[in-house]
Chains A and B, each alone.
Chain A
């Protein structure tokens, strides 16, 4: 029974993750008659636009990591070092950007920070100069930095909290303090957390398709992959070469972070001892800390406020604030595009359902059975993290070309089913982690007790395991759901008809015309509300599950 289920899960992963990605890699290296060749890579580097895109992508991803670190490192340090109320604010800061997909905020950022955006208009009026925040690649870096810095913040904070206070005391005794203490002791000890966060930021930025497209930047790798495959055609090898390069960089960055975490032993011997000494802020420090937090908060909230203002404004052009407010854009959205909201609920609901079902099954197989090769399931499912959405979608177009969906006469990739499956595969790692954690907390003796009392294996799973895991499963469901709801990379490649398009694609479509900016923003606000509620729900659910399992 267990073996059959494992095989079914393995078949799903092979069909919808392994083979499509493999077909992308194969096409990048294959000659017309199936031989092996590097010539596609050579032609890639011969095209100047491709070389430019390649360096631009590295530049944008690298600088985004640098700026994100600049924002996140001080914030993380404040949280662990000082006893002050700002810590709660910083926690909020860590979540706020994540509830808004970066491509939605990008348009609003243009109006706030662009050449004639609010900030530059004021700067020009008061000081007679302006700053090119949003020109070309700068805009992408700016938007991505504000969106992804929480990854560094959250990971680094946890890592710093785990540092043994004794280390600091020893350093003190040996005469180190201040900057020297931070750079030589605290930061190196927190390095694993930082690297984990930074590599995630790098990968996310490198893979992002929606933000550059919405900002009108196409000379980067992800937009080029999308444009080559959709306009030159599914046979164009350059699109596959770009895909392979993107996978290599994603896998490389994640592998490096795993490597750094593994290579050196950062664990401290005693647990439950003291952590870093917390101090009170001096007056000067308080001003600095609150000033920095306030500035970051303002920046982080700007896309949210901007998109809200856009969705409510009649006209916003060459002025600091919009003028004339209206609810008409919301009306347009609800009359024209309520279908899209429904589509998102349907696709993401189904995808999250599949994720939780698979996640629970895999977690059970890993933790409760001795099935040979069971780790393979875990690894394969988690590998989806390193596959960019564009690449997976291109893999679907390639691998399932000509294959029709059973019981219909349309191609599999032309239906919403392909989109839903892509969501499920891409979000499976999230649900899997949740389910694993929930099952790990559940002591096996509960099941043994049930079986001693005569329950069958199936009954004990149904009556004991699943109900006790419910909290974690729900949290996994919600996480998968909300992250899928704002996914654009795979969506943009796989969406074709307007009536089956989800919310995220609808926002993108609206943003392509002047009269559509208002409704597009209104749809964006709706997406933010859905994701915000989901995040809150998952937070509540994962907290509630604790008392049951103890």
Chain B
């Protein structure tokens, strides 16, 4: 026994000491990282790839806590804002992509960081994923647009996550807000949320629940839907017309142990070879190198071909300026009050059915109470409010203001939803 253990330890130690190790901090699933690790190590037999799988915030915290010179080489994740934060903290290093042919922009969104600290490695669009068996069993039509999800037939069959839990979900809702405008956008989001069976704790909870039939329809990033479909699950995925295509990024970390190997890895992921790995059915992501699509199977979505129309000109500055306000508003009036919102939505839908199209003041008032955000567009631009939500933890005054505002939203939402139920039930 002991002898075996010693042999085992001896076998592990030298392999770590000799080769160049590329340490990759990533939030991506095992199928993707495993494919890149295998392909890269085959091409560069002297290098070893070490994957550190961490959620994006955990990954950022990890990079920050390592000393310069012993940091990991690569940061690889979806949310562009995470990279912006790391770049502003001087934790990223510029790297030459070593490949030409990657366009500057997809739609109106720049693929690479204008300053060159991080690069788009794949593209992701947001859309609707549904379980075909579930829809069939419940006799539901397949949805096409975000707006379809507000229909009463979908009540209790939809699922989404919260923007505060996942960057991808935040982008989905910010896209709706930018596409429809603040008031109409929130109106739509509140109605969709009112139809939801659950606001899941993690973004992965949505595709996972749709995949195994817990939910009928989910708001997801394309690769979740496409990968599930291509792995044989009875699901479909569609891009609605109001969608945004944004890059998932990769960056070389400043102060890494072996920056040269790190650079090799970045270049590999952007090369034709590396881009092609994205087409694997289990990965199903959209390459940034347009030439790659020539080798894609028929029907593979191509954001450069004009098939997915990103009608929204996504404004990342606007998104960033109100990031915490949108996340927090969503949590206070939707995530934490979901039961009440769903009840109000149900009551309104039933009243509408009962009235059969007859106009009713009570019903209109109920709709206003349930589906209008407690924060108007003008208020949402208020500098003081935005500053309070962006303030650092130590700033007691700002934190107090933020807590007070949040408490107001929350209690107002609770009262509004309760009143909406009363009004809708009484509507004649």
* Interface presence of B33 (CB below 8 A): yes
A509 to B232, CA, bound (A): 21
* Interface presence of B369 (CB below 8 A): no
User: Which residues of the other chain, B, contact A346 by a CB distance below 8 angstroms?
Assistant: 5, 8-9
Return the CB mask of A45-70 against B: 1 if under 8 Å, else 0.
Answer: 01010000000000000000000000
Chain A residue with the shortest CB-CB distance to B29: A513
Q: Is the CB of A318 within 8 A of B65?
A: no
Q: Is the CB of B30 within 8 A of A342?
A: no
Report, as a range, how many residues of chain B touch the other chain: 35 or more
A219 to B165, CA, bound (A): 12
Q: Is the CB of B201 within 8 A of A217?
A: yes
User: Which residues of the other chain, B, contact A135 by a CB distance below 8 angstroms?
Assistant: 198
Q: Is the CB of A498 within 8 A of B50?
A: yes
A168 to B354, CA, bound (A): 65
Q: Is the CB of B212 within 8 A of A116?
A: yes
Answer whether A512 and B29 are a contact pair too, CB < 8 Å, given A317-B131, A317-B233, A496-B52. yes
Residues of A221-261 at the interface with B, using a CB-CB cut-off of 8 Å, are 227, 230-234
The 3 nearest A-B residue pairs measured at CB: A318-B213, A513-B29, A231-B57
* Interface presence of A218 (CB below 8 A): yes
Answer whether A509 and B61 are a contact pair too, CB < 8 Å, given A218-B202, A498-B53. no
User: Which residues of the other chain, B, contact A497 by a CB distance below 8 angstroms?
Assistant: 23, 50-52
Return the CB mask of B206-230 against A: 1 if under 8 Å, else 0.
Answer: 0111011111000000001001100
A483 to B194, CA, bound (A): 44
User: Which residues of the other chain, A, contact B23 by a CB distance below 8 angstroms?
Assistant: 497
* Interface presence of B378 (CB below 8 A): no
Q: Is the CB of B5 within 8 A of A350?
A: yes
* Interface presence of A499 (CB below 8 A): yes
A93 to B228, CA, bound (A): 37
Q: Is the CB of A231 within 8 A of B55?
A: yes
Q: Is the CB of A336 within 8 A of B202?
A: no
A409 to B258, CA, bound (A): 14
A516 to B227, CA, bound (A): 11
* Interface presence of B300 (CB below 8 A): no
User: Which residues of the other chain, B, contact A46 by a CB distance below 8 angstroms?
Assistant: 403
Answer whether A315 and B57 are a contact pair too, CB < 8 Å, given A497-B52, A514-B207. no
Return the CB mask of A133-144 against B: 1 if under 8 Å, else 0.
Answer: 001100000000
A196 to B317, CA, bound (A): 58
Find A317's partner among B31, B52, B61, B211 (CB 8 Å cutoff).
Answer: B211
A230 to B56, CA, bound (A): 10
Chain B residue with the shortest CB-CB distance to A216: B205
**Residues of chain B having any CB pair with chain A under 8 Å:** 1, 5, 8-9, 23, 29-31, 33-34, 50-55, 57-58, 60-62, 64-65, 70, 131, 133-134, 137, 165, 197-198, 200-202, 204-205, 207-209, 211-215, 224, 227-228, 231-235, 282, 336, 403
Residues of A376-431 at the interface with B, using a CB-CB cut-off of 8 Å, are 409-410
* Interface presence of A114 (CB below 8 A): yes
A316 to B62, CA, bound (A): 36
Chain B residue with the shortest CB-CB distance to A515: B282
How far, in Å, is B248 (CB) from chain A's closest CB?
A: 15
Q: Is the CB of A318 within 8 A of B234?
A: yes
Answer whether A336 and B34 are a contact pair too, CB < 8 Å, given A496-B52, A498-B50, A498-B53. yes
How far, in Å, is A228 (CB) from chain B's closest CB?
A: 10
Q: Is the CB of A216 within 8 A of B202?
A: yes
Q: Is the CB of B64 within 8 A of A349?
A: no
Q: Is the CB of B227 within 8 A of A110?
A: no
User: Which residues of the other chain, B, contact A353 by a CB distance below 8 angstroms?
Assistant: 1
User: Which residues of the other chain, B, contact A111 by a CB distance below 8 angstroms?
Assistant: 212
How far, in Å, is B179 (CB) from chain A's closest CB?
A: 28
User: Which residues of the other chain, A, contact B64 by a CB distance below 8 angstroms?
Assistant: 233
Q: Is the CB of A230 within 8 A of B58?
A: yes
* Interface presence of A115 (CB below 8 A): yes
User: Which residues of the other chain, A, contact B51 by a CB distance below 8 angstroms?
Assistant: 497-499
User: Which residues of the other chain, A, contact B198 by a CB distance below 8 angstroms?
Assistant: 135-136
User: Which residues of the other chain, A, contact B57 by a CB distance below 8 angstroms?
Assistant: 230-232
A216 to B201, CA, bound (A): 6
Find A318's partner among B31, B200, B201, B212 (CB 8 Å cutoff).
Answer: B212
